[in-house]
């Protein structure tokens, strides 16, 4: 199972992305309260609207760090997490004891 765990916390660094709180016009982006529509068409940037009105223009936010080169798909390789400890024999027997409380359909 350890083969499926990766260090995703290093993803933003490797992709040269960061969280921006302002759009390209230097207006504050309040995702939680005012954004109604988000459209992602290019990697590293998104467009948003603060209204669902058709005539309202989209605003653009660029998540790329200035001066950083663009990353191509498949170029980033994440490292795997170090191997974690396996379950002890005592823990396994404890789980088997608890299994009698689990309904047959969920075992």
Residues 6+ apart with CB under 8 A from 52: 36, 37
Query: pLDDT tens digit string along 4-17?
Result: 777 888 877 888 77
DSSP state of 76: -
pLDDT score for 9 = 82
Residue pair 79/10 in contact by the 8 Å Cβ criterion: yes
pTM across the whole model: 0.55
């Amino acid at each position: 199972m350890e083969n499926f765990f990766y260090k995703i916390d290093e993803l933003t660094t490797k992709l040269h992305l960061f969280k921006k709180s302002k759009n390209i016009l230097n207006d504050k982006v309040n995702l939680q309260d005012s954004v109604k529509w988000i459209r992602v068409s290019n990697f590293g940037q998104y467009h948003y609207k603060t209204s669902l009105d058709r005539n309202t223009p989209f605003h653009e936010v660029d998540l790329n760090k200035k001066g950083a080169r663009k990353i191509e798909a498949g170029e980033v390789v994440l490292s795997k997490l170090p191997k974690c400890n396996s379950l002890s024999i005592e823990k396994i027997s404890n789980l088997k004891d608890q299994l009698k409380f689990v309904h047959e359909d969920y075992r």
